[in-house]
Amino acid sequence: MAAGLKIAVIGGGSSYTPEIVEGFIRNYEQMPIRELWFVDIEEGKHKLEIVGNLAKRMVKESGLPIEVHLTLDRRQAIAGADFVTTQMRVGLLAARKQDEHIPIMHGVIGQETTGPGGMLKALRTVPVILDICRDIEELAPNAWMLNFTNPAGIVTEAVAKHSKVKSVGLCNSPINFQKFLAAEYGVSEKDVLAEFVGINHLHWVTSAIVNGEEKMPELLDGGKSYTAKNVPTFGWDADFIRSLGAIPTYYLKYFYMTDTMLADMKASLEKDGTRADVVSRVEQELFELYKDENLAEKPKQLEQRGGAYYSEAAVNLMTSIYNDRHDIQTLNVSNGNIYDFLPADASIEINCVVTGQGPIPLVPQKVPSHVKGLMHAVKVYEQLTIEAAITGDRGIALQALVHHPLVPSVTVAKQLLDEMLEANKKYLPAFFKPEAVL
C-alpha cells in the first residue's frame, strides 16, 4: 500500500461515524490517511450531511491533512480505495423495529442479529453487500473490506463464498471483554489476552490471561460477566457458569435464558418499546448534538448507542494490516480446519495474528464439548440463510428458520416467515418475483 491511504466508509451517515473519525485521527502517525470518503444512500443523505460536517470539523481541529468527502456515489468512493468499511443498515431503524416487534408478538425472541430478526436482517443485507463487493472487485481489487454490518458472521461468510474480495468481519463484543478484563484487574489492555471459541454473537471465553497468569477459574468462581447496552443485564446462574467452564457472550442469554429474556422483551414492548425504539430516541438526541457547529469531537453520549468500540476495533485492524503488526485480534474469518465439526468455509469468530497479508487464525487450546452442538445448529441456520438470501427460495428460508434453536415449531416458523417477508417486501425482490407469463 502506498503512503497516503484512501478509505471508504459505506454507511457514513451512521451515528457511529464520529468514533471511527476519532480513531483515524489518533492513529494518523501509524496510518496516514489522504482521503476519507463517507457514503450513504438518498434516504440517509440528511444524516450523512450532519455527521459528515462534524467529521470535517474534527479533522480541521486535528490539523491533519485529511480530505473528507461526502457522497451518494458509492463507486466514486470505492475507486482506488485501500480499505472499505461497511456499517450499514438496509431498511434503516424502521426495519430493525419490525425485526424485533414481530417475533415477540409470536412468542419468539425478537433481536436484530439472531433468530427471526437476525435472519430477516441478513436477507435484506447479503444481496446489497455482494453488490458492493462487485464494485470493489472492479474498482479497488486490492482493497480490504472490513465488515461490521450485522449479522457480521453471516455477512462475512457470504462475502467469502460469493466474491473475490479480501474481507474480515468485526464485532465489538470481543473488544468489550478485553476492556472488561483489563478493568477488572486494573491493568492495561496490552496485559490481557482472552481466548474466544465460537461464531459471531455465539462465542465463549475459555481462557483469560492477565500478566501471564490464567484467571479463568477465579472469574468463574466469582460469577463475573460482561454485557453491553443492547442486552439486558440479567445475571448468569453461578452453578451453570462454573460447570460450563467458560464465560459466555451476553448474546448467549437468548439461548440459555430464553424465558427470562422473552418475558423482559414482552414487558419492554408494552412499556417503552424494544431496543430499536430506544436506539431511535438516542439517535435523535445524538444528531441534534452533531448539528452544533461548535462541536468538534466525539460526544460522550455516543457510548449510550450500544455499539461502543466497534470503530476502535475497525481502526485497530486497519492499522495492524497496514503496519504488518503481527498482533492478536478477535475476528470473523473462514474456519479452514480449526473446527472439524463445521464446514471449512464457515465464518467463525476467533483470535487471529494480524499480518500485512491479513489475519491468520489461531487454533484454540480447548473447545468445550458441550458447546459444539449449539455452534453447529446455529451455523446450519446461517448457511441456509445465506443460500435463501441469494436465491430468494422460500423453502430454504423456511428450513433456516425452523432449524434455528430459538424458533419453537414449524407452525410458528411459517407464520413468522410469511409475515416478516411481507413486511420487508420492499427490500426482498428475490422473494417476490413476478410469475412467468406463459
Residues 6+ apart with CB under 8 A from 27: 315, 319
CA–CA separation, 407 and 236 (whole Å): 22
Peptide bond preceding 151 in cis form (omega within 30 of 0):
yes
Paired strand residues for 195: 207
CB distance 20 to 9 below 8 Å: yes
**The residue type at 210:** V
Q: Tell me if 165 sits within 8 A of 106, measured CB to CB.
A: no
The answer to whether the annotation marks 203 as part of a ligand binding site is no
Q: Which of 251, 290, 309, 381 is catalytic?
A: 251
Among 284, 289, 255, which residue's Cα sits nearest to residue 373? Answer: 255
Q: Which residue has the cell 474498482?
A: 139
Angle at 389 between CA 262 and CA 419, to 5 degrees: 45
251 catalytic, yes or no? yes
> CA nearest 11: which of 34, 55, 44?
44
Of the candidates 327, 359, 90, 258, the residue with the CA atom closest to the CA atom of residue 347: 359
171 carries a ligand binding annotation:
yes
Cell of 146: 472490513
Separation of alpha carbons 413 and 396, rounded Å: 12
Residue type, 100: E
Cβ atoms < 10 Å from Cβ of 367? 19
- Under 8 Å between Cβ of 122 and 155: yes
Residues written for the chain: 438
Phi (first) and psi of residue 349, to 5 degrees: -110, 115
Q: Binding site for substrate: which residues?
A: 96, 150
Catalytic residue IDs: 251
Q: Binding site for Mn(2+): which residues?
A: 171, 201
